[in-house]
């Protein structure tokens, strides 16, 4: 089995045609909304990239569902990219975009709490276990490859059980972001006034057919990305303990891919910490849309289209469990048109 997995990863590396050295260019390099000059600010750029949480294939974690797979190699890359895009939102939420990771350095308590949300355990809110089993409701078997939209839908549902972060996750329909619908999400979370939107800087999920990447920036005609197609051992850490985080940060130079190599099926992600952030984002997007009348990745409209089904603000089911245990409860879950199946663990 180890030989098969190694062969698979070698095929990934050949197919992705990556370039690890940053180009010697006068063009700006953008990383998640931050602009760098590679000639004068390369070290700051690399520090930014290495500070991003990096989730890859893992092996030898507890079997999903008790009897399922104990590794996600070959099928979990889009799930890992979904973890990375959401983790970036949580970093912005708790640590700020300017936060930087230092190897062997002391990290804030919030950083450790964020990491615990994504550990490969059934009691971590956004673990591979929770995502894979929640995906069953989206028509995906455990161990099946996901597309960007499925991952977005799974994260939206899992966020309902995440009381610590209190995120409102919005997933657009037909490549159209509806301001009225997001405002309803904000009203639902009025105490925190936060909203994390997908499609939409937290990054981009996408890649090539059956291969997923987490795109965090661009330079010239190339995208800069973090690659989840590396299998590492699962990190064993007890709830509340300090996580050994060395394997959660990619410490080699970022990889690049030609924009023309990108599959058109992508999910864009943005984090807005406040309603003011969201208003500013809307203004910026509207200005850009006016510039590119024929080349739009998505539309932004004020009102909910009349020919669409009514927008229903997601609500947490009335189940007396903690967010870490919700998959073990099967009664009275999501009694709406968005019903999905929950598997027992």
Nearest one of 219, 225, 220 to 204, comparing CA atoms:
225
Cβ-proximal residues to 292 (8 Å cutoff; 6+ apart), any chain: none
Element (H, E) at 207: strand 203-208
Beta-bridge mates of residue 326 = none
Helix-, strand-, coil-residue percentages of the chain, each rounded to 5: 35, 15, 50
Catalytic residue among 48, 72, 77, 125: 77
Residue indicated by tokens 């760098």:
36
Decide: 29 and 224 in contact? Cβ < 8 Å: yes
Cβ-proximal residues to 101 (8 Å cutoff; 6+ apart), any chain: 50, 51, 107, 111, 245, 249
Q: Is 125 a catalytic residue?
A: no
Catalytic residue among 48, 72, 125, 229: 229
Catalytic residue among 72, 120, 181, 227: 227
Cβ-proximal residues to 332 (8 Å cutoff; 6+ apart), any chain: 317, 318, 319
Helices then strands (H, E): number in the chain?
A: 8, 13
Q: Is 227 a catalytic residue?
A: yes
CA–CA dist 48, 100 (Å, integer):
6
The CA-atom distances, in angstroms, between 71 and each of 61, 88, 156, 199 are 7, 24, 24, 28
CA–CA dist 263, 68 (Å, integer):
30
Report, as residue numbers or ranges, the catalytic residues.
Answer: 77, 227, 229
């Amino acid at each position: 089995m180890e030989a098969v997995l190694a062969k698979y990863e070698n095929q990934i590396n050949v197919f992705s045609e990556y370039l690890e050295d940053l180009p010697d260019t006068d063009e700006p390099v953008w990383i998640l909304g931050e602009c760098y000059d590679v000639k004068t600010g390369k070290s700051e750029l690399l520090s930014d990239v290495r500070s991003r949480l990096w989730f890859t294939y893992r092996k030898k974690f507890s079997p999903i569902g008790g009897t399922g797979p104990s590794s996600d190699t070959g099928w979990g890359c889009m799930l890992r990219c979904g973890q990375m895009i959401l983790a970036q939102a949580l970093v912005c939420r708790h640590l700020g975009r300017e936060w930087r990771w230092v190897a062997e350095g002391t990290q804030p308590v919030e950083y450790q709490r964020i990491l615990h949300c994504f550990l490969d355990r059934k009691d971590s809110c956004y673990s591979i276990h929770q995502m894979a089993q929640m995906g069953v409701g989206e028509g995906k078997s455990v161990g099946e490859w996901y597309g960007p939209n499925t991952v977005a839908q799974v994260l939206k549902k899992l966020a309902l059980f995440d009381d610590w972060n209190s995120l409102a996750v919005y997933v657009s329909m037909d490549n159209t972001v509806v301001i009225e619908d997001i405002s309803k999400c904000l009203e639902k979370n009025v105490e925190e006034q936060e909203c994390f939107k997908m499609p939409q800087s937290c990054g981009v999920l996408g890649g090539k057919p059956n291969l997923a990447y987490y795109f965090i920036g661009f330079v010239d005609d190339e995208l800069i990305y973090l690659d989840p197609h590396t299998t590492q051992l699962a990190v064993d850490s007890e709830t509340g303990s300090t996580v050994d985080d060395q394997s959660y940060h990619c410490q080699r130079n970022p990889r690049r891919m030609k924009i023309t190599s990108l599959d058109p099926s992508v999910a864009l992600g943005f984090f807005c910490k406040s309603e003011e952030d969201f208003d500013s984002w809307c203004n910026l997007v509207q200005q850009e849309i006016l510039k590119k009348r024929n080349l739009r990745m998505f539309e932004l409209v004020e009102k909910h289209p009349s020919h669409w089904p009514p927008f229903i603000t997601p609500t947490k089911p009335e189940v007396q469990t903690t967010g870490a245990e919700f998959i073990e409860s099967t009664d009275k879950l999501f009694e709406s048109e968005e019903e999905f199946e929950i598997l027992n663990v």
